[in-house]
A and B are shown apart, each in its own frame.
Chain A
Amino acid sequence: MALAKRIIPCLDCENGRVVKGVKFVDIRDAGDPVEVSKRYCDQGADEITFLDITASHEGRQTTIDTVHAIAGQVFIPLTVGGGIRTLQDIRDMLNAGADKVAINTSAVKNPDFVRQASERFGSQCIVVAIDAKKVSGKGEPDRWEIFTHGGRNPTGLDAVAWAQKMVDLGAGEILLTSMDRDGTKNGFDLALNRAISDAVTVPVIASGGVGNLQHLVDGITEGGADAVLAASIFHFGEYSIPEAKQYMHDQGIEVRI
């Protein structure tokens, strides 16, 4: 017996609806976030992650209302990300019923925000979301950099060093998305995930690129992830959470069944 590896369905939401972009562009509607969260919880999802992908540009109240509605029905951990910029944003989300918040762009703009947030609310609720893209050429040692704004803006920051810095400042968990893989269904960037997981003391959630159940297994066994996050394979009914857990269990991975 041991700690189970977690399966986390991710709800990318825009204007109160679940959507999923392919490389953050082509958006398909996947339903009402409250219904979708409840369904995943009933199926045995280990956590829910809710990312407001338009939060940087639009009003917050829809998101707060949706988080409140989800939290009233879902008794598993709920992480909320997208447009978290101030301590008040964090407080609003925790008060609405989120258990953790994911900070991305604001950490890049002001790393000290992560320290302030973890000192105020505790590391256990501060997830730093990292969007990384491979920048090394063929034949060079692997190197990834941090990108913000849905992968549009390069920052020049080295992903491994950045992850370590975020943990030093108080991040309790890292949500690591490969911008090269997100939406491609070609599997996680396992080398990226392994590099970050080995470099930090806190749990790492692998994200970006899941197209089948073997990808989830690879994220854990090869990528060293503590949890695997996926969206479209669950939203569009290709696989259910129980199927994913059974598959992982059959491959010798400890899961909650």
Chain B
Amino acid sequence: MNRVAVIDYGMGNLHSVAKAVEHVGDGLQLSVTADEKTIMAADRIIFPGVGAMRDCMGEIRRLGIDDMLRRLVEDKPILGICVGMQALMEHSMENNGIDCIGLFAGNVKRFADDLQGANGDRLKVPHMGWNEVRQTKGHPMWQGIADNSRFYFVHSYFVTPANPDEVMGESSYPVPFACALAKRNVFAVQFHPEKSQTAGLQLYKNFLGWDGSC
């Protein structure tokens, strides 16, 4: 039995994450939960997130999820998604500045409003849609996923990790930004694997089989 806990801190819809994981997993016991016992007893943890960072961090702290993650990072695979990934950094510029969990050194900042594409067109914010992901480093989570596969993004903020060794994937809008990080048992992505069709489902499949090593 593979026990998977999708951490639910009340910030948005975890239906699609749960559906996608169930779609690729056999013999799963999947819980969408904030319950500490269930989370600590799980074999692997998914940490999603949508919405504003101040509200997210408020609930993460209130429910003690930050402390749970700090303990879990030692021995269980953790997958951070979108705002979940951003919350793992030290600090976000969103909402006039919010301190985050700090599992990864580095910050979260906003895309500029005057971005231009190659043909001079203005690039819209949020960065919304399918963009290519360059696998800057090999990792078990990339298994069976072609380099430069497209994943679905929707975000206005992006991470700026302090340690380049922790960057596993990059995308460009129009300048390169880190969209996949890894450190010990944690793999974190800015895009939404649950909305990224084949490549995204493969990433969840890899996560269900990942032992947390690099």
Interface residues of A (CB under 8 A from B): 1-6, 41, 46, 71-72, 75-77, 94-99, 119, 121-125, 172-173, 198, 201-204, 224, 226-227, 256
> Across the interface, which residues of B come within 8 angstroms of A121, CB to CB?
12, 51
How near does chain B come to A190, taking the closest CB pair, in angstroms?
A: 15
Q: Which residue of A lies closest to B52 (CB)?
A: A122
A46 to B23, CA, bound (A): 19
Question: Taking A94-B12, A99-B16 as contacts, is the C-beta distance between A201 and B128 under 8 angstroms?
Answer: no
Is the CB–CB distance between B129 and A226 below 8 Å?
yes
Is the CB–CB distance between A2 and B131 below 8 Å?
yes
Is the CB–CB distance between B128 and A173 below 8 Å?
yes
B174 lies within 8 A of chain A by Cβ:
yes
A130 to B24, CA, bound (A): 38
Is the CB–CB distance between B200 and A3 below 8 Å?
no
Is the CB–CB distance between B130 and A123 below 8 Å?
no
17 contacts between A and B (CB under 8 A): A1-B131, A3-B129, A3-B153, A72-B19, A75-B200, A76-B197, A96-B15, A97-B19, A122-B51, A122-B52, A124-B126, A124-B154, A198-B122, A201-B124, A202-B124, A226-B128, A227-B129
Is the CB–CB distance between B16 and A4 below 8 Å?
no
> Across the interface, which residues of B come within 8 angstroms of A97, CB to CB?
13, 15-16, 19
How many of chain B's residues touch chain A, expressed as a range?
35 or more
Q: Which residue of B lies closest to A91 (CB)?
A: B13
Instruction: Encode contact with A along B114-147: 1 for CB under 8 Å, 0 otherwise.
Output: 0001100111111111111000000000000000
> Across the interface, which residues of B come within 8 angstroms of A1, CB to CB?
131-132, 148, 172
Is the CB–CB distance between B200 and A95 below 8 Å?
no
Is the CB–CB distance between B200 and A6 below 8 Å?
no
> Across the interface, which residues of A come within 8 angstroms of B23, CB to CB?
75
Is the CB–CB distance between B129 and A4 below 8 Å?
yes
Is the CB–CB distance between B127 and A3 below 8 Å?
yes
Is the CB–CB distance between A76 and B129 below 8 Å?
no
Q: Which of B122, B129, B150, B196 is the most central at the interface, judged by chain A CB atoms within 10 Å of its CB?
A: B129
20 extra interface residue pairs, beta carbon distance < 8 Å, beyond A99-B13, A122-B51: A1-B131, A1-B148, A2-B117, A2-B172, A3-B131, A4-B129, A4-B150, A46-B130, A71-B15, A71-B16, A72-B19, A75-B201, A77-B195, A95-B13, A99-B195, A121-B12, A121-B51, A122-B50, A124-B126, A125-B13
> Across the interface, which residues of B come within 8 angstroms of A119, CB to CB?
52
> Across the interface, which residues of A come within 8 angstroms of B19, CB to CB?
71-72, 75, 97
Do most interface residues of chain A lie in helix, strand or loop, or is the interface mixed?
Answer: loop
> Across the interface, which residues of A come within 8 angstroms of B155, CB to CB?
124
A145 to B190, CA, bound (A): 38
B66 lies within 8 A of chain A by Cβ:
no
How near does chain A come to B23, taking the closest CB pair, in angstroms?
A: 7
> Across the interface, which residues of B come within 8 angstroms of A77, CB to CB?
152, 154, 195
> Across the interface, which residues of A come within 8 angstroms of B124, CB to CB?
201-204, 226
B145-199 residues at the A interface, CB under 8 angstroms: 148, 150, 152-156, 172-174, 194-197
> Across the interface, which residues of A come within 8 angstroms of B52, CB to CB?
119, 122
> Across the interface, which residues of B come within 8 angstroms of A172, CB to CB?
126, 128, 154
A41 to B52, CA, bound (A): 30
A99 to B153, CA, bound (A): 12
A75 to B15, CA, bound (A): 11
A2 to B153, CA, bound (A): 12
Q: Which of A75, A77, A203, A224 is the most central at the interface, judged by chain B CB atoms within 10 Å of its CB?
A: A75
A94 to B15, CA, bound (A): 8
How near does chain B come to A79, taking the closest CB pair, in angstroms?
A: 12
A198 to B122, CA, bound (A): 8
> Across the interface, which residues of A come within 8 angstroms of B16, CB to CB?
71, 75, 97, 99
Is the CB–CB distance between A4 and B128 below 8 Å?
no
Q: Which residue of B lies closest to A204 (CB)?
A: B124
B113 lies within 8 A of chain A by Cβ:
yes
Is the CB–CB distance between A3 and B173 below 8 Å?
yes
Question: Taking A2-B174, A4-B131, A201-B113 as contacts, is the C-beta distance between A75 and B126 under 8 angstroms?
Answer: no
Question: Taking A2-B174, A75-B201, A124-B50 as contacts, is the C-beta distance between A256 and B150 under 8 angstroms?
Answer: yes
Is the CB–CB distance between B195 and A76 below 8 Å?
yes
Question: Taking A4-B129, A4-B150, A203-B129 as contacts, is the C-beta distance between A41 and B15 under 8 angstroms?
Answer: no
> Across the interface, which residues of A come within 8 angstroms of B194, CB to CB?
75
Instruction: Encode contact with A along B33-61: 1 for CB under 8 Å, 0 otherwise.
Output: 00000000000000000111000000000
